[in-house]
Amino acid sequence: MDARIRTELTIPLSLHGFSTVGRVFTFDGLLDGREHLAIGLGSCSAAVRGVPAAEQSPLVRLHSECLTGDVLGSERCDCGPQLHESLARITDEGGYLLYLRQEGRGIGLYEKLDAYTLQDTGLDTYQANLALGHEADERDYTPAAQMLDALGIRRLRLLTNNPDKAAQLEAAGLVIAEQVPTTVHLSDANARYLAAKALRGAHTLDVAVGGRGGGLPDR
Ligand SMILES: Nc1nc2c(ncn2[C@@H]2O[C@H](COP(=O)(O)OP(=O)(O)OP(=O)(O)O)[C@@H](O)[C@H]2O)c(=O)[nH]1
Ligand SMILES: [Zn+2]
């Protein structure tokens, strides 16, 4: 199914003292009917329609919504610092941040918070999803592929440590010229979470082999 750009507009952005300008795109025809956004930054903050993008490889981040991390600054996960890092790096190199409405790896906010309460009893982030009757990760990046297609992007550099994002975009026909890792934003509060991602979620996080104080715990 094809999607098309519905609206584009320029919005000045400021987060944790970092200011930039975003070209914000909305879409019609996205597979899951959710209100995902694409934000063009740096050299991609100007209108892009009609620009041949075939030979370009913009830096692209698929950022899954995390209200607790992105908005409230929760330290249980690394989403807030990753969002900040992504805005800065993409502004610098030129590309897009796709803000995907996939709260809680696709299970929604209330279910994620229920999963947090289970994690407080000892389950890891994936076990908690399963205990609630969900998949460990329910995200489908088909709408992201549709958005990139609507923006005229066929080839990109993907800012992620999650190989599933690259695999799903490639399966949708996009060319991943490079998988660019994000910084590992490790803190005492998110150490168990990042360890679970590295050990059980196959994320390519250097913390799995080192970390602070002799390495991360097993969950
Ligand atoms: N179900 C659930 N979702 C979580 C939890 N912690 C964070 N999330 C959600 O996970 C998503 C972010 O996924 P991450 O695993 O941090 O990162 P990623 O997007 O898979 O990979 P990167 O591109 O490397 O950052 C957001 O939608 C968060 O709301 C948790 O404990 N349980
Ligand atoms: Zn988060």
- For ligand 1, mutation pick of 34, 59, 61, 64 (most atoms within 8 Å of CB): 64
27-36, 92-101, 205-214: least confidently modelled range: 205-214
d(CA 216, CA 203): 14
- The answer to whether residue 213 scores a pLDDT higher than 50 is no
Is the residue at 125 inside a domain? no
Q: Ligand 1 atom closest to Cα of 103?
A: 27
Name the residue with the closest Cα to ligand 1, atom 15. Answer: 197
d(CA 50, CA 56): 14
Is the residue at 122 inside a domain? no
> What contacts 41, CB < 8 A, 6 or more positions away?
20, 21, 22, 23, 87, 90, 91, 94, 95, 96, 97
Please give the share of the chain, as a percent, with pLDDT higher than 70.
87
- The answer to whether residue 217 scores a pLDDT higher than 60 is no
Is the residue at 145 inside a domain? yes
Query: DSSP class of residue 50?
Result: T
| Sheet strand arrangement including 4-15 | 4-15, 18-28, 37-41, 95-100, 59-64, 155-159, 175-180
What dihedral do alpha carbons 10, 12, 153, 8 form, nearest 10°? -20
Average pLDDT over residues 205-209: 53
Q: Please give the mean pLDDT across all residues of the chain.
A: 89
Distance 19 CA to ligand 2 centre (A): 22
Is the residue at 116 inside a domain? no
pLDDT at 16: 86
- The answer to whether residue 128 scores a pLDDT higher than 70 is yes
Q: Which amino acid is at 74?
A: S
Distance 106 CA to ligand 1 centre (A): 9
Q: Ligand 1 atom closest to Cα of 160?
A: 23
Which ligand does the CA of 179 lie closest to? 1
- The answer to whether residue 18 scores a pLDDT higher than 90 is yes
Name the residue with the closest Cα to ligand 1, atom 5. Answer: 104
153 to 14, 18, 52: CA distances (angstroms): 26, 27, 9
> Which residues fall in the annotated binding site?
61-66, 77, 79, 82, 103-105, 125, 160, 165
178 to 41, 149, 159: CA distances (angstroms): 19, 18, 9
- The answer to whether residue 172 scores a pLDDT higher than 50 is yes
Per-residue pLDDT band for 219 (boundaries 50, 70, 90) equals: very low
Per-residue pLDDT band for 136 (boundaries 50, 70, 90) equals: very high
pLDDT at 97: 98
The catalytic site residues sit at 137, 139
pLDDT at 55: 54
Q: Note down the domain range covering 169.
A: 9-102+139-203
d(CA 35, CA 15): 22
d(CA 187, CA 159): 21
- The answer to whether residue 51 scores a pLDDT higher than 90 is no
Q: Check: CB of residue 62 under 8 Å from CB of residue 141.
A: yes
Is the residue at 214 inside a domain? no
Distance 103 CA to ligand 1 centre (A): 8
Cα-only R_g, the chain: 17
Among residues 167, 9, 22, the alpha carbon closest in space to that of 95 is found at: 22
Is the residue at 117 inside a domain? no
Could you give the number of structural domains in the chain? 1
Is the residue at 46 inside a domain? yes
Average pLDDT over residues 103-129: 97
CATH label of the domain that carries residue 150: 3.40.50.10990
pLDDT at 205: 66
- For ligand 1, mutation pick of 84, 105, 158, 164 (most atoms within 8 Å of CB): 105
Is the residue at 93 inside a domain? yes
pTM of the full structure: 0.89
Average pLDDT over residues 67-91: 96
